[in-house]
Amino acid sequence: MRLSRTPAEKTGKVLGEFARCYKEQYGVALFNSVRYEIEGNGGPQAQLLHRKVPLEDHVIYSGNLFQYIEENKKWRNRFCVVPHNYGLVLYENKLAYERELPPRVLINSAGYKVLTSVEQYLELVSSSLPGVTPKSGNAPIVKCPTDFPLILWHPYARHYYFCVMTGKEQEKWGAVFQDCVRHCNNGISEDSKVEAPAFTDAVRMYRQSKEQYGTWDMLCGNQSQVLSNLVMEELLPELRSAIGPRLKGKAQERQRTWIQISDAVYRMVYEQTKAQYDAMVAKCEVERAQMESTIRTDMDQIITSKEHLSSKIRAFVLPKAEICVRNHVQPYISSILEALMTPTSQGFAEVREVFFKEVTDMNMNIVNEGGLEKLVEYMEKLSHLAFHPVKMQSCYEKMDQLKLEGLQQRFDVSSTSVFKQRAQIHMRQQMDDAVYTFETLLHQELGKLQGKDDLCKSIQRILERVLKKYDYDSSTVRKKFFREALLQITIPFLLKKLAPTCKGELAKFQELIFEDFASFILVENTYEEVVLQSVMKDIMQAVKEAAVQRKHNLYRDSMVMHNSDPNLHLLGEGIPIDWAEEHGGQPEAEPAADKRRRAKQVVSVIQDDEGALPYEAGAEALLPPSSPEPQEPEPAVPPGSPGGVAEIREMLAKESTEEAAGGQAEERLTNGTHATRQSRATEEVVAAGSAPGDDPPRGPASDGDGARRDASVPPASGAGVPSGDKVHHPTAPSPAPRAEIPSGDKVHHATAASPASGAEIPTGDKMHQATAASPISGAGVPSGDKEHHPTAPSPTSGAEIPSGDKEHHPTPAPAPRAEAPSGDEVHHPAAAASPAPGAAVPSPPAGTDCHQPGDKETGEEVAPPVACSPPQPAGTTESVVEGVQTEF
């Protein structure tokens, strides 16, 4: 079979027909816009304020994940940034992003589906090319090296394959990807009162002319993307029939080839569509001024002419439409409404609950910690709550329950995704409006508050006011959403039912329209308005009854909430509040590169540093910025950067073997990896020459466990200092590996380094460390120890000091394997070196539960601690708290 037209010819034909529809709908939309402007809006006024630029200078998320490169069939570590416009931007690594090098890939996720299993993906791929099914046991089209894939699938465009190492990362990245898809799908701006409605109506009219009624899943993205989907909807079946049988090779190769062909055609169609659509819009804009002048001059005559046409069409269509509504629609309206109301109202209730919980937690933390600085910190996080995909996920998930079983086939609803995404966008908007109103009211009150108690009372009072406003606005938004959804479901069904008896008779009504007004009045649009009126009464009645019964916390239409804040809407709606700048002090100007690295981020990463990942054991060389992904030269990939699945798994096995045998620092393979709270140990540093008797300020590691550390340096891996010993080190060298010091000793180090690798420090010791470095990853020091490190290094390898002795070492170091039994006291004033890899970590405050490496992980025996501090991976620059990232 040969194609009747080339893709370019087919695209030109579709766009030509669409241009005619668009020009007609443009005049109607312009007339409606001017009429709306003159007559005004009689709807209820929103109680919540609306923020105009919610995410300026912010990043939604950033972190590392692994991408499958189809050209060389290798997995590569990529640094992914999700900016405020919700695009997916992939860089070679974090350094390339900070240096502002060009990104590897830019992804607009409109029209994509986020899949979390290879099985789901293979089903969709098989359905896209019927008759091509891989035999069981054959390798799939893509093989994921982990159990946590993330795949972006599109019916026409290229697919993208990612994977991460943990389920938690998959959930977080999945929520971020879903938010990107949700935002990009809503690509047609509602701020445009003429172009947007003209475009959507033209698409609907074009599809109805092809006998395609009902909702359309691919009405997503910007206008050029929607038009490309419209062209591909007609072009792809022809391509599949012509090219599919000619594909050669195994089933997987044919599937891969088909995806590449579809993507190439889609890109070509998109370029042609974009150029022709821009020319179409420009032509209409040139005529707009003259058309608008005519509308304003002849408004009354146009309205009179349209009403006359409506009355004639109504007399012809309405009796038939009412019978169709009574028999085929009315019995099902309540069922459809209930199916819509339950998940939607649960989602909005969850939005209210999340907002209430976040503000209440903030208030409790301010009570416990106090101070305006804490308020600034929490308000910075709260201000972007609506754009936090992970925290909002519990709200969005409620819409997954939406099912129109039975009704979906009856009313030709191809998918409920249109309604789910629309409701989720409403949820996000309502959350942001509630947060911004809370911010504005609190900002007003700050100048009047006296002390912490007044602040907390004011926060609680404002929260209650905002929740009342939220309840009213969410009820209004939900009722509007229900009405629109019911119309979207029922109107196409009625038009399809009435088409055989009514559509052919519409041409005779064209003569009722004056030629001068033909650009603003269309018979087809008037006919649809009459059909809408036939069912609108039943829909309004159903929603009204639900409100009267107080189902799902809906307010009655007659209930008007009086504005309790008459001056609130005069405050300059949309003006952002910079809490850090106004109440957190004026920061010094920083270079552009530093500003880019420290850009505020809505969702925190799991770990702030890329680290050395087993997928990327060596630093992967940066390719030239201009070089495309397909031409990535093999020599540029260092030996430590495996790409194949087998190589990756071999490396993972090798990593685990080395960890078990050598007791080295645990190196976790994650995308951006484990969140750690920033240690304040390095903030409380005492000069290196401090006297042994100095009592530096207590840091977080000195609370409650008898261990006092100023800025502790942990002992090296496996270093053992038995509990209870008292050891003073004047100028002794650091201990060699496997040095053992029996319990009972008390060790004083002013600026001591930790013992060397292999030394063990059992519990019971009391340690003082004046100016030590931060602990090495995987290091662990049992709790209860108390050590004083004036300025001394630890004993040499294997040194054993008998228990009970009190030894002072001015300069000499203990001999190798010298044993120091418990009870000894050794003084080492000299400065200590940093801990060796795998060293044990000093214990945190009592009551902190965490994991202490044992013999199975490090090959060493460690005494059971009372409490311990989680190891901080080497290279971690700065930790982040959930909600805000200061460095990514």
Start-end of H helices in 697-851: none
Q: Residue 808 pLDDT > 60, yes or no?
A: no
306 Cβ contact list (under 8 Å, min separation 6)? 517, 520, 521, 526
Whether the Cβ atoms of residue 648 and residue 848 lie closer than 8 Å to each other: no
Q: Residue 543 pLDDT > 70, yes or no?
A: yes
Per-residue pLDDT, 404? 82
pTM for the complete prediction?
A: 0.67
Task: Provide mean pLDDT across the span 352-365.
Answer: 94
The structure tokens listed for 207 are 């599809």
How many residues are given for the chain? 888
Per-residue pLDDT, 155? 95
d(CA 740, CA 723): 11
Task: Provide mean pLDDT across the span 864-882.
Answer: 38
The winner for highest mean pLDDT among 213-217, 509-513, 725-729, 826-830 is 509-513
Q: From residue 291, how far is each of 32, 297, 455, 496, 846 by CA, in Å?
A: 12, 10, 56, 33, 77
Segment 204-259, tens digit of pLDDT? 999 999 999 988 989 999 999 999 999 999 999 999 988 888 888 888 888 899 99
- DSSP 3-state assignment of 778? coil
Q: Residue 385 pLDDT > 70, yes or no?
A: yes
Please identify which residue in the block is written with the tokens 């709908």: 25
Task: Provide mean pLDDT across the span 608-618.
Answer: 34
Per-residue pLDDT, 582? 57
Q: Is residue 579 very low, low, confident or very high in pLDDT (cuts 50, 70, 90)?
A: low
Which of 576, 577, 574 has the alpha carbon at shortest distance from 376? 577
Segment 106-140, tens digit of pLDDT? 999 999 999 999 999 998 998 888 766 666 656 67
Neighbours of 805 (CB within 10 A): 17
d(CA 689, CA 692): 9
d(CA 666, CA 672): 15
Segment 645-701, tens digit of pLDDT? 555 556 545 544 554 444 443 333 333 333 333 333 334 433 334 444 444 444 433
Tell me the backbone φ, ψ of residue 785, rounded to 5 degrees.
Answer: -75, 150
Segment 128-176, tens digit of pLDDT? 887 666 666 566 788 899 999 999 999 999 999 999 999 999 999 999 9
The structure tokens listed for 330 are 């009315």
Task: Provide mean pLDDT across the span 470-495.
Answer: 94
What's the number of CA atoms in the CB half-sphere (13 Å) around residue 139? 9
DSSP state of 325: I
